Chains A and B, each alone.
Chain A
């Protein structure tokens, strides 16, 4: 939780009830997963753990998770109808209540597919007050808050990869607030997570997208 509270963090935020962690946070996690997958989700297996599993319907967590995958935001009253909307919009979903004990009170894993056959797995935790952390993409453990503008660069772990991205950002006068690298192993796939205060223009993302062995997703500050 940040320590520089504004008026509307306290008298607010305006959200769909009943729980900032189980409803708003769940919805944000699904939005995060959808944004990272960067494709329309047509098929999702949603694994819920801990308190998410225990109270699933009682906090509308099921609706919030499915609604978030459809791109509905935590203050959208349509969340209440998300399960029906999913059927109409061709999103088929299935919940798996996991009994495994995990360290996060509220954890969810989305196994997502889209019509083009692409698939991705994204896990994250709701950590209170509607705040979230993305904790895993496919087989890589990482940590992304999405409270900044975030660029996720899926790249091959090799010398110069980080420099080439950092150089483009420096040339375009983008100030990096934080940068972390998470890799599966030496010379394997790795993720660069770059957080910036400024927004990154699509043309900059496009330049990096054309680098050899790099896939890039840019997610504007989620909340």
Chain B
């Protein structure tokens, strides 16, 4: 048994209390003991990870190239230009986090090198949130690296006790997990304690229970890219609630368990099979037909 091993919210609470650690510090220590390396090694690995995220944000807001499926690719640039006008309804942080989340997901759909966080389909939520808040508050990379470790701890709890796969649990398992991870990370960034982080994660995940995975034509483009933005908005609101002292009536461990059960109850058609939800709409069927035709034309079949 490893000293800092945690598999649940209760484990995190116990160990962080006993050892007087933040969630990020706990995640660093556990990963170091797990890999049997020095803490500086895993921090360096996370630095590389953060670099990839930043590259995606930068390239994504500057590009208008279509995705390989052809359904998205213009939105990050539009949102970034809109953010620059400084008149967004949701305020500057939400608006920029939206642009960055769109940027990362559009880069993903262009076959760029991205960080699955926790999955490729949900790769925009955490970098979108952290990128915007880092900018607004002029935070150092070291602090953001800590926040990524915090996010990973929440993701580990969800992956261990439920699932992070859309095929198994629907979108609640992907965007839901990403949103809970981001909510907790943002809370720590803004000075919240361990309990506030866990409340933020619980609130964020609870808010998206039942969210279905219904990719149009089976592609990680529509509605996935914009659902990342929903994950961002939900994470920021959940973090702000937790920082205001609002708690989740249902603790994170129980929300995770509920998410797993809801995932089981969701029909096959709403779990990444592209047979239900918006994937079954008339427009989606037309798009799907066109894409099939493109495949056939490309390979001359």
Contact = CB atoms under 8 A, between A and B. Distances in A.
User: Do A and B come together as binding partners?
Assistant: yes
Interface of A: 1, 3-21, 23-24, 51, 54-60, 62-63, 75, 77, 79-80, 95, 97, 105, 128-130
Contacts, number: 151
A55 B68 contact: no
Contacts of B164: 10, 129
A17 B34 contact: no
B168 A128 contact: yes
A199 B144 CA distance: 36
Contacts of B148: 11
Contacts of B123: 17
30 contacts: A7-B27, A11-B118, A11-B149, A11-B151, A12-B49, A12-B117, A14-B52, A14-B115, A16-B113, A16-B114, A17-B111, A17-B112, A17-B113, A17-B220, A18-B67, A18-B68, A18-B219, A18-B220, A19-B220, A20-B119, A20-B120, A23-B111, A24-B120, A57-B298, A60-B68, A60-B111, A97-B296, A128-B165, A129-B119, A130-B116
Q: Which 6 A-B pairs have the closest CB atoms?
A: A17-B108, A10-B155, A58-B69, A7-B152, A18-B220, A7-B31
Contacts of B258: none
Interface in B11-59: 27, 30-31, 34-35, 42, 45-46, 48-49, 52
Contacts of B149: 7, 11
A17 B218 contact: no
B292 interface: yes
Contacts of A23: 111, 120
A13 B116 contact: yes
Given A18-B120, A58-B68, A128-B165, A77 B295 contact: no
B295 A57 contact: yes
Contact of B159 (A10, A20, A24, A79): A10
Contact of B120 (A1, A15, A57): A15
A19 B111 CA distance: 9
Interface of B: 27, 30-31, 34-35, 42, 45-46, 48-49, 52, 67-69, 107-121, 123, 126, 148-149, 151-153, 155-156, 159-160, 164-165, 167-168, 181, 217-221, 274, 291-292, 294-296, 298-299, 301
Q: Label chain B's interface by main secondary structure.
A: helix
Contacts of A10: 117-118, 151-152, 155-156, 159, 164, 181
B220 A11 contact: no
A55 B120 CA distance: 16
Given A7-B149, A59-B68, A77-B112, A19 B160 contact: no
Given A11-B115, A57-B295, A59-B220, 13 more contacts: A7-B149, A7-B153, A10-B151, A11-B155, A12-B117, A16-B111, A17-B112, A18-B111, A56-B299, A57-B68, A58-B295, A128-B168, A129-B165
A55 B113 contact: no
B67 A12 contact: no
B46 A9 contact: no
Contacts of A75: 113
Contact of A77 (B113, B152, B165, B274): B113
